[in-house]
Structure 1
């Protein structure tokens, strides 16, 4: 008889069987000294009685050790093949689940784990197709990839296994197991088994996950095709700061030893940096590279970061594409310049806040109202600040070449001389002390607002605003509106109820003030960035939207193959969407617009959210918890697939001997009790 065990963890308790021996050796009773007249006859009796008693004591000791041994083995759920114990069920189904996530591309001794899994599956088909009625093969990653169907056609099954390829996806066992349980549920009174061939990584099963349709009659065999220790380093993320022209590269070392790798940076197809780096064990490591490769006329910076290849080369490359952040042009028109834009003017405060290069790249130009009204051809600006102007001309506003207009009110404002679509939101001046409300509506416009002390910002006067044809952004603590947003000719218009100098408020002296103005100045750029994402995960769609009409477009994948995206032409914008990003690399979108021929590049990477590159082993206790009512066992891949198949055969053709082992424990307990009474 050959044994294997369904609950291997209990085998680690076998050393406990030595407890009786330890107690016997280290806890002997010390003999008592008793004065006696003559012990000659006792010595003679001892020669004949003591040896027999010692033999009985050692036999009792062995019995107690055997009881503990068989008890541990019984809890480990032994399975063995004994003549006469064959399964009576003739209808049998075997499902072989093969993990094809990208971590299965890890090289062990020059062979990928997927190759080992496929060899094992082919051996199983060869050896057991004559004994099992039906076999099905299923490949899975984070979902079911392919399914062969239940069949006894070995040729078809072998071809299916050979055609399984690595995917660029993460791993999740739940969809695959649920799929097999559903297939098995169609067969009654069957002997069914799942063999799951995987690298047993920790993200195979998520914590606290449950499977609703588990069938406790289905045997589950986990086969681990990975080696004991796996070493992997991967590029987790890449960031770029246009202000400092610096790349920050995040690298994770999932190994338990320090790793040395060559790091290379490519912009477009040009290698601009090579360096040797040391990555500490089990940590995320950040490395910075300064680069000035972005040309003055370039609107994007794309390329890749690459580590020297290790045993899992697929995650050693990270592709990137960053829009080049140019200096934002700001026009400030100050209706109350206070003797040449001096220290108390709105121009002074705006210049002070927006000229700090650490927080943004702004080029600021200032006008007084006369210069603004007399300017014949205003150049294009990103943001125009109109501060405390006595009047605003409808035509001037519409002719402004900008993306955002910020209007702050004050004592110079004559609301009668403002356009009707602005006038409709402004009523009378209110003179009372208010602060910004700490319970702002969740617009998401100022995401870090709760980090500031809003109560310390005091407004003494303000215009009462309403939200007609507009969106509320900020409120005062008396529920009056502080800031609204409107739209005109694709321009975002903001109206602020008070001044942005110190005439009506202490706002300019508070920490919120710089954050407030910079958020206004950058909101259009950030909105465009959110709308058009250029660094994507596998299977995320390539999507690009433009308010300019697109006359012609061409999308190619990293291999140069032309793709067929979907184009949607709307009244305000044109969008291009492609959903088939199944390989990592740079996808190039070429299109014609009013500017001429434009290019946009989209970087598609293996998903780092799945932590597929972290090769930490799955805790067996989690499997026990999820499949607690199912017979299950764990097998490590042997040196050859044939040896592993032999182990699986014992489980497929064996009998659960748990009850027999418990009976043996009871018999031994009975013998031990009888023996103890004799002593």
Structure 2
């Protein structure tokens, strides 16, 4: 047994005070001559003996009270495991919380250091032959974890490795580990069985236990279900609480990239959310670094206790490609793991797209794709991300379509069987098709190709060409609704005049009904016919525009909406979505093959800069998965030996829930 304030044990010397007082107050009776009263003498002797016994008992009680007060003030702690368990063989399961929150500075030292010392102290109290098992809440999977060790050497070596590595950046889950440890101890024949949980008792670490309890308590019919082995509850759980007096901490909770177009030369911004986890006000400044260069910083942010604040940093990239970015905050802090947040920014500098039209005219303006070509390449070729190639329908029969991410089919008269088959294969393996109607579109040919493909070549079958009649008292339709929730259309529905100024003189009506699988992106007035549809097909998607991109059927090419609509759709279809290039520590990174043949080799460069080459077994999986994401930072992937080699950068960040200071109540 050890004492937190051993100096108070000196107060136990006060136990000598009652005997001294007893001796002082002890008085001898005076002898006085009196007549012989034999029976009275006997009565006095009996009374005196009872009084002596009572006084002795009271003196001992007073001494014990003083000793117990002194020991209580000294804060005794049971340090001998044997004192807790008694004699006999023991089986011990140690559940060690090594999640990110254990890196918090608490009473001047990291909680994880306290946890490692506690685990070693438990091991020191075991005897040879006692069973011990170590469980970890997060991080890499060590082969020794969960294995019974009777010599204790493997557990000690594992503790040394864990102590050197430090806490992980991942979230810890304690509930299922405690249950698993108890199940394992049920198999032991030891007389004494205990689970020791060394943790900071963060509330989020026990959420899995609450979910399990709710699942067990009720059957699907709402009736109680007793599925828990009652023997589990007879195995005691001892908690070693490392959460005492944490140092004030401010965490980066979230970082988002916001941009109209992911293109070099166009301003972007990162939106940073900070959280003050302490009980006192804090001030911080957020800084943005891209490829190691500081790109900007926020003004000083004041954060009230237990509250969040949002700030923005505007920046601009000078070149395309992939970029490694991170947001940092500086200052005295209780936890360093949440002072940085990483981003992977992809500004694709060479997105190949094809624009397929009829035969080219000598006068460029007469080409049906004239305005579309200008919209998809509004600036010089060197500084723009989209690289359009002009093709004719004849090229679709021979050219390798996998060279392009998007194919625009502009007012093609007919779709023959060979072209339809190749286009379907292209979209099912991840390609994107954009159908654009016009005066030469032959509805019967389109519908025949669509039916032959099993209803997968167009979003919906086509109906008829719509033109305003005299009886309708109109000369055009206007777009009255735009899906502002669609990723490609966010921000384009405000103000409404941006799309309501678009007039449509003719369009081809699609047979879109209540049970249709396609998504309506824009509607016209009148009967509300869809003018823009999208449908997922295989790994790709198909978009249909019911009117033309020339001025014969609509004024769309002349309106302010046209260029941002066409470019936003192109970047959306090309898969350039920077916000998807980040995962939390411990989660797998998934890289789709984008319709290409799987690579035979993938090169991986993790944050420590080492290079590893992973062989890929070619199977049915449409993507590559990488699970060793225990370190935070940037991961570079090169998918080699595919039709078009892919290079990607992903960011791995700590779980923001680990910055939550809330501690689970003792009664739970």
Task: Place the TM-score, normalised by the shorter chain, in its bin.
Answer: 0.5 to 0.7
Distance 1:365 1:158 in 2: 62
**CA shift for structure 1 position 198:** 0.8
Aligned to 2:177: 176
Q: Cα offset for 1:327?
A: 9.8
Which residue in the other structure is 1:306 paired with? Answer: 328
Q: Which residue of 2 aligns with 1:614?
A: 660
Equivalent residue, structure 2, for 1:94 = 92
The answer for the alignment partner of 1:283 in structure 2 is 307
1:318–1:605 contact (8 Å) kept in structure 2: yes
1:210 alignment partner, SS class = helix
Q: 1:525 to 1:579 in 2, by over 3 A?
A: same
**Deviations 1:395-437 (CA, angstroms, capped at 9, x unpaired):** 99999x997553343555344787973696766527799999x
* Aligned-partner Cα distance in 1 for 2:585–2:84: 48
Judge conservation of contact 1:113–1:199 (CA < 8 Å) in 2: yes
Cα gap change, 1:93/1:404 in structure 2, threshold over 3 Å: closer, same or farther? Answer: closer
Q: Is the 8 A contact 2:509 2:529 kept in 1?
A: no
User: Does 2:558 match 1:560?
Assistant: no
- Aligned position for 1:406: 434
1:155-178 Cα offsets, whole Å, 9 max, x none, are: 665444434332232111112101
Q: 1:486 to 1:153 in 2, by over 3 A?
A: closer
Q: Is the 8 A contact 1:178 1:213 kept in 2?
A: no
Residues 198-231 of structure 1 show CA distances to partners (whole Å, capped at 9, x for unaligned) of: 1111112117333545623222222211223442
Q: Where does residue 634 of structure 2 map in the other structure?
A: 586
Q: Is the 8 A contact 1:548 1:574 kept in 2?
A: no
1:262 and 1:276 in contact (8 A); partners too: yes
Residues 386-401 of structure 1 correspond to what in structure 2 (within 5 A)? none
Q: For residues 227-279 of structure 1, what are the alpha-carbon distances to aligned partners after superposition, in whole Å with 9 as ceiling and x for unaligned?
A: 23442222223323344232323322222222234544332233444667334
Matched residues in 1 for 2:387 and 2:613: separation? 44
CA contact (8 A) 2:93 2:135 kept: no
In the alignment, structure 1 residue 429 sits paired with structure 2 residue 446: no
- Stretches of structure 1 that go unaligned for 5 or more consecutive residues are 3-78, 356-360, 373-379, 624-679
Deviation for aligned residue 1:334: 11
Aligned counterparts of 2:609 and 2:564: Cα–Cα separation in 1: 44
8 Å CA contact 1:264–1:271 kept in 2: the answer is yes
CA distance in 1, matches of 2:88, 2:172: 34
Q: Which structure's relative contact order is higher, taking Cα pairs within 8 Å and 6+ residues apart?
A: 1
Contact 1:537 1:607 in 2 (8 A): yes
Q: CA deviation at 1:179?
A: 1.4
Q: Does 1:227 align with 2:249?
A: no
Of 588, 599, 604, which residue of structure 2 is paired with 1:541?
588
State the 1:540 CA deviation: 3.1
Q: How has the CA–CA distance of structure 1 residues 520 and 471 changed in structure 2, closer, same or farther, with 3 Å as cutoff?
A: farther
Taking structure 1 as reference, are residues 333 and 254 closer, same or farther at Cα in structure 2, changes over 3 Å only? farther
State the alpha-carbon separation in 1 of the partners of residues 519 and 372 from structure 2: 22
Deviation at 1:614, TM superposition (A): 1.6
SS in 2 for 1:236: strand
Matches within 5 A, 1:621-660: 621=667, 623=668
Whole-Å Cα distance in 1 between the matches of residues 419 and 92 of structure 2? 77
Structural mapping, 1:313-332, within 5 Å: 313-324=336-347
Equivalent of 1:270 in 279, 290, 293:
293
Task: Look up the SS of the partner of 2:337 in the other structure.
Answer: helix
- State the alpha-carbon separation in 2 of the partners of residues 341 and 153 from structure 1: 85
Distance 2:107 2:248 in 1: 13
The verdict on how the C-alpha distance between 1:413 and 1:253 changes in structure 2, with shifts beyond 3 A counting, is same
The correspondence of residues 195-594 of structure 1 with structure 2, limited to 5 A, is 195-206=196-207, 208-211=210-213, 212-213=228-229, 215-240=232-257, 241=259, 242=262, 243-273=266-296, 277-281=300-304, 282-295=306-319, 298-308=320-330, 310-324=333-347, 404-409=432-437, 412-415=440-443, 421=449, 429=464, 462-463=508-509, 472-474=518-520, 483=533, 494-496=543-545, 520-526=569-575, 529=577, 533-544=580-591, 545=593, 554-567=603-616, 576-590=624-638
SS across alignment from 1:312 = coil
* Matching residue within 106, 122, 128 for 2:104: 106
CA contact (8 A) 2:196 2:240 kept: yes
Shift of 1:556: 2.1
TM-score (norm 1): 0.56
- Of 103, 112, 115, the residue aligned with 2:113 is 115
Stretches of structure 2 that go unaligned for 5 or more consecutive residues are: 3-76, 214-227, 379-383, 396-402, 453-457
8 Å contact 1:104–1:199 — kept in the other structure? yes
Q: Distance in 1 between matches of 2:150 and 2:299?
A: 54
Indicate yes or no: 2:637 matched with 1:602.
no
Cα pair distance change 1:316/1:396, threshold 3 Å: same
Instruction: Output the CA distance in 2 between the equivalents of 1:87 and 1:364.
Output: 74
Compared with structure 1, are the counterparts of its residues 114 and 139 closer, same or farther at alpha carbon in structure 2 (3 Å cutoff)? farther
Aligned pair in 2 of structure 1 residues 485, 521: CA closer, same or farther (>3 Å)? same
CA distance in 2, matches of 1:170, 1:290: 31
User: Using the alignment, how far apart are the partners of 2:564 and 2:85 within structure 1?
Assistant: 74
SS of equivalent to 1:612? helix
Name which of 123, 132, 137 aligns with 1:136. Answer: 132
Structure 1 residues 503 and 188, CA gap change in structure 2 (3 angstroms): farther
Q: Distance in 2 between matches of 1:481 and 1:585?
A: 44
Q: Deviations over 1:630-649 (max 9, x none)?
A: xxxxxxxxxxxxxxxxxxxx
Inter-CA distance 366–446: structure 2 relative to 1 (3 Å threshold): closer
Change (3 A) 1:463 1:105: closer
Q: How far did 1:320 drift?
A: 1.7
Structure 2 counterpart SS, 1:315? coil
Q: 1:17-28 residue pairs with structure 2 within 5 A? A: none
**TM-score normalized with structure 2 length:** 0.57
CA RMSD of aligned residues (A): 6.1
Aligned to 2:40: none
Structure 1's 533 and 502: CA in aligned 2 closer, same or farther, altered over 3 A?
A: same
Tell me, in whole angstroms, the C-alpha distance in 2 between the residues paired with 1:362 and 1:562: 29
Report if aligned partners of 2:348, 2:385 keep a CA contact under 8 Å in 1. no
In 2 relative to 1, CA 142–506 (structure 1 residues): closer, same or farther, beyond 3 Å?
Answer: farther
Between 1:574-583 and 1:109-118, the stretch displaced more is 574-583
Q: What per-residue deviation string (whole Å, max 9, x for no partner) do you get for residues 370-413 of structure 1?
A: xx9xxxxxxx99767666566689999999x9975533435553
How big is the shift at 1:619?
2.4
